[in-house]
Chains A and B, each alone.
Chain A
Amino acid sequence: MNELAITVIGRDRPGIVADVAEALARLGANLTDSTMTRLRGHFAMTLICVGPAAADVEAALAPLAADGQLLATVRAVTPDGETTAAGEPYVLAVHGADRMGIVAAMTRVLADAGGNVTDLSTRLTGSLYVVVAEVELPSGSSDEVAGRLARTAAELGVGVSLRPADTDLL
């Protein structure tokens, strides 16, 4: 069974999700995990589906991109199988004056500590830049990581907080 990673990015308009999902449904592709949002007004969708060959999906999505407003990519991916459960879930929040390299510097601290970012969003509103990342940290490392994040944040002149993520109650 083919597993495909598909991205659709470009000028937003009503009906893009319906068009993409319809094209996939016609090919018998089973849409599994997907996410869609608007990034500064641009339509941005990433999804995984299983079923057809990559070339067939590319052909089916081609009309969507025909007017040059949307870009669709299709790649075959190897099923990941079970990902190893990492350590403890945390939420990292960073906010401050926009400047180059905030995400790069802060996520490098996480990466160097063996932390894995599992979800991320950033927003620029006026001159305020906000980063919120969900991250899995190796057990027992959070105090040290928080200290390193604080030092890096101070160098960048931004505020940072690292808090345990809510756990599932039921």
Chain B
Amino acid sequence: MTAEYVGLDDWTPEVLAVPGEVLPVVSAPDPVLSRPGPEVDPTSDEVVRLAADLVATMRVSPGCVGLAAPQVGVSAQVFAVDVAGHPKAVTVHRTFVLCNARVVEASRWKAGREGCMSVPDLTGDVKRASRLVVEGVLPGTGKPVRLVTDGFEARALQHEIDHCAGLLFLDRVAGAHAIYQRKVYL
């Protein structure tokens, strides 16, 4: 089956039509963070609720630009991203949730310092594609989406897609001296 991928259009979390609940965020070494999440049925009630919960939890977490299902203890390929207002963001798609997302094109690899709510005390230098095309489906409608983005939003997407595959930024650090004790907490 070949799906016709389109943009996010005017998708907002309100179309989920369920109130999101703020969930506790789990930290490494919780094993759920290292387990590849299964694909989900984006139209199921469970996934729609999870999507709303991810948005709600992301919104109450200072400095949080993305949150993946394993970070709230659920092994599944679902994540929320919102880099709006971040000073380093260029292309911005505002708040969105993707299910079963995968990277289909990645280029212009650049190193950058990353942190993670699930690894609160460390940051690390990680190389990520700064030009990115991602395909996934929207929770609720199940509509296939193709996102073209760059820079900071591209980095956030790759970080969240990694979470869904059971990978942390720690798995991609550039070398033995590329991990740092976090100095600034947002």
Contact = CB atoms under 8 A, between A and B. Distances in A.
Interface in A86-136: 91, 93, 95-98, 119-121, 123, 125-130, 132-134
Contacts, number: 69
Contacts of B172: 93, 161, 163
B176 A128 contact: no
Contact of B34 (A96, A130, A166): A96
A132 B178 contact: yes
B28 A95 contact: yes
Interface of A is mostly: strand
B34 A132 contact: no
Contacts of B52: none
B170 interface: yes
Contacts of B119: 128
B177 interface: yes
A132 B29 contact: no
B175 A159 contact: no
A166 B174 contact: yes
B177 A119 contact: yes
Interface in B161-178: 166-168, 170-178
B149 interface: no
Nearest to B35: A159
Nearest to A98: B29
Contact of A159 (B121, B171, B179): B171
A130 B176 contact: no
Contact of A126 (B121, B168, B181): B121
Interface of B: 27-29, 31, 34, 119, 121-122, 127, 166-168, 170-179, 181
A165 interface: yes
A108 B168 CA distance: 24
A63 interface: no
A166 B181 CA distance: 23
Given A95-B168, A97-B29, A132 B175 contact: yes
A93 B162 CA distance: 15
Contacts of A93: 170-173
Given A125-B121, A161-B171, A163-B172, A130 B31 contact: no
Given A119-B175, A132-B179, 8 more contacts: A93-B172, A95-B28, A126-B121, A128-B29, A134-B175, A134-B176, A159-B166, A161-B167
B175 A91 contact: yes
A93 B124 CA distance: 12
